[in-house]
Structure 1
């Protein structure tokens, strides 16, 4: 973070935080954000529109009669000037309201808000529900006090002649970020659901653009950027900034969707004041209601919620997966109900362009999507779909303690449907979690204790760009793999069932508890017990056919007839596994598998399962065999195909244990210290 930008944002945040303290006692802490954040947005808009106030009022007064809304808006936007797509037709402003009677503050503010252009009015009335908060403030006799403090807050944007003065869009982004973090902490909410640390976003943007600098230069370049969980819009803003650094003349169109009302309001307001079409930012649940259904995008980036379940809205997602299959968004598979990260990623893949330009995706996720779920599971099938389609370009492991609400390990996935020829069939793994890539923060911000240095960010982008693969100054943190290296076949290994049989007292007691036996009437139960107790030889049978012959003879001799379920219950109750017994055969004369000895072997996808079995299994369990009916539903081959990406396995570094003498000496020192402490306590 630029120190000047950070210092300015922090100073503004501290000032606003003092205003929030005014609410103490009349508002719960969890409600502070509902009052303060809309006020910050309102004051920002007021500062932006102040220079053009007279021009807007004049243009509004001279509008032709019968003019349509679209033309009206364009004329008033023109009066504002620049790329700003917001206006206010009221003569009121913070300055004029402050000069009037404090008792009229509520009436004046409501009139001021309702005079904004449609998009802004919608944000304040429908998303922030700000008029309700103004009413509460007025009834608590706090409205004037809060308003007057905000009226002294200068959020005027920089002027072209003085670009270093004023409050830039970037500073506003950091201001909102810090305020949301603080409000979330005091109300025990999840701050990380609303924004992503800026250095993480910049890294994603660098990785998305590092190989595209040539394609983005020149005149007439248009690129569309999308974030399906856009929060306050930080990712979209920094993506545009990164593109403009490469080409000041590029036209960047930003699109997003957000579920949280306050975050949506902030994001849409930012689009309004930066000249973007606010209608491109949609409100609602991306997974159930895709507001950009027919659109495709050049670049997509996102930080979806980690470990958040999708149970409450599972029905439309499952219905889409079942009815549309891979023609829809979720046809590759559904992850477990407790984590919807891979749903967002599938949604983004569905929006990749199928033209020559193609698309690139950058998404931050935790470790779960890398390896959760075995062969055939939803997660594994999604990984399989992405890797077999050769969309995964690279995965970067980030340092821990980067985010405000969690210290867990996170990863940036990079996907594209326009890989360079040298990357076809390849995936690059970069371990950027080591100390060389992060710096401890001077002061922790929630769970955020570290940040990625600018030079480290540039290094990570360079490692990706150069496809480093071992060796060199940074090679040990980057490795190139074939997509098939992450795949395996899960074959089912069976071993024969071996049982002995005996009509012992203990086993007969088991028979008495069997359901088929309990369903018999008392007289029938007595008949069965008489047979197994008095007519079966009390010897240990190590061959099932021999025992079945003896049982048949005993039943016939007693004149007792039983059905198949009861016979099966007798065999089950009077048997125990015995590795020295004869193998039990099925009706076709083949060995019957023992479910308790069943095992599964993961055979690398690049290896023949028969060769693997002959080398790794058969020498140790000669009676084992592979169940060839256990097959993959897609390629019909023996064994189910699975995919997982185990970072720890690929970047494991052996650390030799300390010498025993050193450990022994340390233990003796500790023992002496403990003995000394005990002496002091006893004395």
Structure 2
């Protein structure tokens, strides 16, 4: 059964809830029950052995938990003689027995159901007379790992969350990222380290500060397991949405990860891993979400800690916190001398160019480029994400660039790499095929400039190519007779006074001298102008699309005239036919 059929089957539970629950509330019941049934199935094979071990250790007065986890073969267990199917044997006491069953789970699992506020829903279902019917429906769904793999299960959770987000008019894209985009990012993240990661027993850490349901962490783990079954990827994350956090934590539990590494809360105001550094990081933060709620804490950290905190280089405008996630990830990089770090982050177009020289956004780009942290930016097709059709970009950053990449940035235009989906999912109408992912990975891995016909698809630039100086050009005030007004006091005495209404600014590339530019571009048109050097600012922007624009000359006038004549001749013939 594929994940869409499976989620459609689980979705049928909604038929039971209709009337007693609003559509927007279905997820409060279906998500925790799905998690419960999955955990129930995962423990099924070892249930008898765990119960026997529990009874044995209780007699001896020992702390049973470490023994039980070993018997269960998981990082969690359940000591109740009940399971989902046995619960169905006592319809009259379903509520009490279900509470008892939940309380017998390990503390980490109980926390998952508390995040779902599951106990409230059980009470509500019991009062509506629906609890037994709903529990029975789930008891008959086979979610055993032999039937539904961890990867499939992750897709089931994501599909359900997407459906609930749609009917609640929420933003599904805040919860998860299309799997093929994650696979591309993971490929780009690991490609330069394939040799290191192939060594037996290698252990690496990976972190996602906006973990959602854990999809990015899971795909990274699957990649490493596929390429080196002996390697170990320890996963860390933080998530703000309680339901997504609960699913992520459940997923990590089943995968044998330490769930203490998955933290609940706001990454900006309450960093869950304040002193930790990571080998790899992946993130798809929400696009264009304002940070007004945590503005006080962020400004305080920026002003009091500067570069010792996370936000030293600058702060973007409050309406879009994307670049705050970028800075947060940079702060989590290991120092190069300790092995360094690499990370991938999905951003919309705004962080490439928003904000002039001296603005928070420009200063953040300046910090990234002047410290040679940016390896590549890959432009993805539109209509790739569930909640938006806008253009998106994958940024790859590293403080351990290979020698041949140092001082350089690669831009890859993959906007033409897509295939139409058989069925649209929200705003998502396009997807990357395996061949597209392989081709983008090859372009990145080979670090070459490339064209598709006449159109460039991979270009390489110096980091300084994206920098410029904004110069302020002044023109003199003139009195009524047209004479230049001179200053009368202090430093300005005897100097022409600027006319603010004639003031202008010019952007001059860092690769060109300011005076050379000024003499060529300004003085021929305004011989009385001068530069106020005190106002000069350095800025950085990455005009991605401009670097891939190919000029197509217009058709010749003769061709256009011939087409017009052909059209007018046809119209005249038709008119003649009507009048005849």
TM-score for the superposition, normalised by structure 2: 0.94
**Secondary structure in structure 1 of the residue aligned to 2:263:** strand
Deviation (angstroms), 1:667: 7.5
Q: Alignment partner for residue 363 of structure 2, among 381, 387, 392? A: 381
Partner of 2:377: 395
Q: Alignment partner for residue 585 of structure 1, among 480, 486, 494? A: 486
Cα distance in 1 for partners of 2:65, 2:442 equals: 46
Deviation (angstroms), 1:147: 1.1
Cα distance in 2 for partners of 1:662, 1:341 equals: 52
**Secondary structure in structure 2 of the residue aligned to 1:332:** coil
1:66-104 per-residue CA deviation (whole Å, 9 max, x = no partner) reads 978xx64321111102xx21111111111101122x221
Partner of 1:30: 24
**1:209 maps to 2:114:** no
1:469–1:475 CA contact under 8 A, matched in 2: no
The alpha-carbon distance between structure 1 residues 265 and 625, as it changes in their structure 2 partners (threshold 3 A), is same
1:143-190 per-residue CA deviation (whole Å, 9 max, x = no partner) reads 1121111111110002xxxxxxx1001111111111111111111000
Q: How many residues are aligned here?
A: 569
Deviation (angstroms), 1:664: 3.5
Cα distance in 2 for partners of 1:670, 1:624 equals: 59
The alpha-carbon distance between structure 1 residues 23 and 602, as it changes in their structure 2 partners (threshold 3 A), is same
Deviation (angstroms), 1:470: 3.7
**1:333 maps to 2:323:** no
Cα distance in 2 for partners of 1:669, 1:13 equals: 61
Larger mean CA deviation between 202-211 and 656-665 belongs to 656-665
Deviation (angstroms), 1:55: 1.1
Deviation (angstroms), 1:115: 1.1
Larger mean CA deviation between 652-661 and 376-385 belongs to 652-661
1:463–1:474 CA contact under 8 A, matched in 2: no
Partner of 1:539: none
Deviation (angstroms), 1:668: 5.7
**1:109 maps to 2:103:** no
Cα distance in 1 for partners of 2:560, 2:179 equals: 46
**1:150 maps to 2:138:** yes
Partner of 1:250: 231
**1:97 maps to 2:87:** yes
1:342–1:379 CA contact under 8 A, matched in 2: yes
Aligned residue runs from structure 1 range 236-635, under 5 A? 236-354=217-335, 355-434=337-416, 437-470=417-450, 476-500=456-480, 542=481, 581-587=482-488, 588-630=493-535
The alpha-carbon distance between structure 1 residues 112 and 494, as it changes in their structure 2 partners (threshold 3 A), is same
Cα distance in 1 for partners of 2:453, 2:221 equals: 32
**1:172 maps to 2:153:** yes
The alpha-carbon distance between structure 1 residues 280 and 67, as it changes in their structure 2 partners (threshold 3 A), is farther
Deviation (angstroms), 1:582: 1.9
Cα distance in 1 for partners of 2:551, 2:123 equals: 64
Task: Give every structure 1 segment of 4 or more consecutive aligned residues whose post-TM-superposition deviation is greater than 6 Å.
Answer: 65-68, 472-475, 669-672
Partner of 2:548: 651
1:468–1:474 CA contact under 8 A, matched in 2: no
The alpha-carbon distance between structure 1 residues 491 and 671, as it changes in their structure 2 partners (threshold 3 A), is farther
**1:139 maps to 2:36:** no
Deviation (angstroms), 1:498: 2.5
The alpha-carbon distance between structure 1 residues 65 and 585, as it changes in their structure 2 partners (threshold 3 A), is farther
Tell me, which stretches of 5 or more residues in structure 1 are unaligned? 1-6, 159-165, 501-541, 543-580, 631-638
Cα distance in 1 for partners of 2:434, 2:6 equals: 24
1:393-439 per-residue CA deviation (whole Å, 9 max, x = no partner) reads 000000000000000000000000000111110000000001xx100
Deviation (angstroms), 1:64: 5.2
Partner of 1:162: none
1:360–1:415 CA contact under 8 A, matched in 2: yes
Partner of 1:14: 8
1:496–1:593 CA contact under 8 A, matched in 2: yes
2:478–2:485 CA contact under 8 A, matched in 1: yes
Cα distance in 1 for partners of 2:462, 2:338 equals: 24
Structure with the greater alpha carbon radius of gyration = 1
Partner of 1:564: none
**Secondary structure in structure 2 of the residue aligned to 1:210:** helix
Tell me, which stretches of 5 or more residues in structure 2 are unaligned? none
2:472–2:506 CA contact under 8 A, matched in 1: yes
Partner of 1:511: none
